[in-house]
Chain A
Amino acid sequence: GNSVTQMEGPVTLSEEAFLTINCTYTATGYPSLFWYVQYPGEGLQLLLKATKADDKGSNKGFEATYRKETTSFHLEKGSVQVSDSAVYFCALSLSSASKIIFGSGTRLSIRP
């Protein structure tokens, strides 16, 4: 079946460190891929997306590249800030399924 697997948290980093949150997927067909971010007590916000292989999504210093050969969509940021502390969800969407499949989320905490 279709699924998303992301690295378990919590991930704790110091400010200005390099961030990678791994995400791999299993899908029949050609999914769109997403990263959403959830700040405490709030709903999810779309962070970035990619709709086809080799596309790179980027926003607010975050990047992720759609890698079809490794079925991955890892989230990266070169220098994290305390304000990046949140839960990050990787997700995929298939046109045949009419819904999004979410990973379990990765909690990120940034120390000043």
Chain B
Amino acid sequence: DGGITQSPKYLFRKEGQNVTLSCEQNLNHDAMYWYRQDPGQGLRLIYYSQIVNDFQKGDIAEGYSVSREKKESFPLTVTSAQKNPTAFYLCASSMDPTSGGPTDTQYFGPGTRLTVL
């Protein structure tokens, strides 16, 4: 089955530690995205990548880093510089974000809930 997987589902981190969230897709999509969702809030874009080896900052990139070495994978690292990292993190992908047609639809993974202890 094609889809987007995120792991782990729950993640606990001590203050001052970096942690990496995994996102993998087998949909052959070009673009991938990371969002943060706080309780009762909407989605805020952290980083996105339209092609391998290229990525752009979203609205709240400070304290986060990403890489896109393979088309299928877009890991997100939450660094110790992120002051309030406890949140629900969602990864998404789309085939061609610039098409303006049906392929601009984003498909989401199940999410990772990160808690800082």
Residues of A that sit less than 8 Å from B by CB: 30, 32, 34, 36, 41-46, 49, 51, 89, 93-96, 98-100, 102-105, 107
Contact = CB atoms under 8 A, between A and B. Distances in A.
Contact of B43 (A45, A96, A102): A102
B105 A94 contact: no
Interface residues of B, number: 29
Contacts of B41: 104-105
19 contacts: A30-B100, A32-B101, A32-B102, A43-B6, A43-B110, A43-B111, A45-B108, A93-B97, A93-B105, A94-B100, A95-B101, A98-B50, A98-B97, A99-B58, A99-B97, A100-B104, A104-B41, A104-B42, A105-B42
A34 to B, nearest CB: 7
A96 B97 CA distance: 9
B31 A43 contact: no
Contacts of B90: 43-44
